Amino acid sequence: MKPFQFLRPRTLSEAAEALRRPGAMAYGGGTNLLDLMKSHARTPDVLVDMTAVSALQDIALDAAGDLRIGAAVRNATLARSPLLQRHSPMVAEALLSGASAQIRNMATVAGNLLQETRCAHFSNPDAGCGRRDGGQECDARLHAGREHAVIGWSESCRAVHPSDFCVPLVALDAMVEIVGPSGLRRVALADFLLLPGDTPQRRTQLGAGDFITGLILPAAAAGFAAHGRYLKVRERTSFAFALVSAAAAVQIKEGRILAARLALGGVAPKPWRVTAAEDCMGGRPPTADVFRAAAEIALSGAAASGDNGFKIELAKRTVVRAFERATVGVAPLDAAMPASVFDTLSKA
* Residue 77 confidence (pLDDT) above 50: yes
Question: What pLDDT score does 341 carry?
Answer: 86
Interval 7-34: pLDDT, tens: 999 999 999 999 999 999 999 999 999 9
Between the alpha carbon of residue 202 and those of residues 118, 134, 198, the distances in Å are 16, 8, 9
Q: How far is CA 226 from the centre of its chain?
A: 21
**From CA 346, how far away is CA 203, in angstroms rounded?**
35
List the domains of the chain with CATH numbers: 54-114+161-220 (3.30.465.10), 225-328 (3.30.390.50)
In this model, does residue 344 exceed pLDDT 80? no
How confident is the model over 113-137, as a mean pLDDT? 91
Confidence bin at 39 (pLDDT 50/70/90): very high
- Specify the pLDDT at position 136: 76
Contacts of 214 (CB under 8 A, 6+ apart): 56, 68, 69, 70, 71, 109, 176, 177
Higher pLDDT, 162 or 137: 162
| Residue 48 in this model has a pLDDT that exceeds 80 | yes
Four-point Cα dihedral 112, 118, 122, 127, nearest 10 = 170
How much is the average pLDDT of 64-91?
98
Q: What is the mean pLDDT of residues 250-270?
A: 98
Rounded Cα distance, 110 and 329, in Å: 29
pLDDT tens, residue by residue, 211-240? 999 999 999 999 999 999 999 999 988 789
Once rounded to an integer, what is the mean pLDDT over residues 262-283?
A: 98
**Is residue 251's pLDDT more than 90?**
yes
**Mean of the per-residue pLDDT values for the chain?**
95
CA distance linking residue 116 with residue 200, whole number of Å: 12
Q: pTM for this structure?
A: 0.96
pLDDT reading at 74 higher than 60: yes
How many percent of the chain have pLDDT more than 90?
Answer: 89
- The pairing of strands 228-234 and 211-217 is unpaired
**Which band of pLDDT confidence, cut at 50, 70 and 90, is reported for residue 347?**
very low
Checking if the pLDDT of 78 tops 90, the result is yes
Q: Which residues contact 219 (CB under 8 A, 6 or more apart)?
A: 64, 65, 66
